[in-house]
Amino acid sequence: MSKFVLVHGAWHGGWAWDNVRPVLKGAGHEVDALDLPGHGSDSTPTSEVTLKSYVDRTVEALDASDEPVYLVGHSLAGAVIGEVAERRPEKIEKLVYVCAFMLQNGESALGWSQSDEGSIILQSLQMSEDQSTATVSDDGLRNALYNDAPDEVVEAARKRLDNQSLEPFGAQAAVTDENFGRVPRVYIETTEDRAVSNSVQRQMISNLPVEKVYTMDTSHLPMASKPEELGRNLNDIAS
């Protein structure tokens, strides 16, 4: 079977994949759900968190693997896995974007968010005084991220969300056709997404074609609302 490395999005930790991991493990796959710097059990100060630190941590996980992996990125982690593919294309079987920012060279997650008329994530943020970090408001958590998840799931997430450095959002992608461009890509789109709207997801797919698109009728957190379906889609990608 295959190995999956799962990379969480902004404000979350490796725990975001807790209900997806059993589906993949039940299918016989090896699964590593990372805690990026400043998230989950990692104690890196938020002030030191950058896109490069996210990429470095993910590269370490790939270097520790004896085989190429299916590298899965959710949301902001799309920016991470693209940079990882640029540095370690030979260590990746496929890149899998889960309603994620699939960036071309010079693009940023923030740039896409600012032009996304179907997203309410930016107005859902509570900024720090120096504008370097942000948290998600209570209303934003429900309306922008978890709009189709059960109340108990939303409340559990609320207690675990981390403060988020904004540097990774604004960092520009540095990728090439020679490295990033030669790694196969798959996209899992979410039709009810209010953080990275489906129209923006499809525009990114149009700009950077992928091998296959899987469609899920969920919000921005399909791992929270339909984890079994997401797990089945990931298993199918590795089949």
Active site residues: 75, 193, 220
HSE-up (13 A, CA, CB side) for residue 148: 18
The owner of tokens 């499809």 is 202
Helix (H) or strand (E) holding 81: helix 77-87
3-state SS of 110-163 is HHHHHCCCCCCCHHHEEECCCCCEEEECHHHHHHHHCCCCCHHHHHHHHCCCCC
Three-state SS for 175? coil
Classify the C-alpha dihedral 76-182-231-99 as positive or negative. positive
Inter-residue contact 185 to 85 (CB < 8 Å): no
Identity of the residue numbered 133: T
Largest CA distance in the chain: 48
Pick the closest to residue 74 from 24, 120, 10 (CA basis).
10
Nearest Cα residue to 76 out of 159, 2, 162: 162
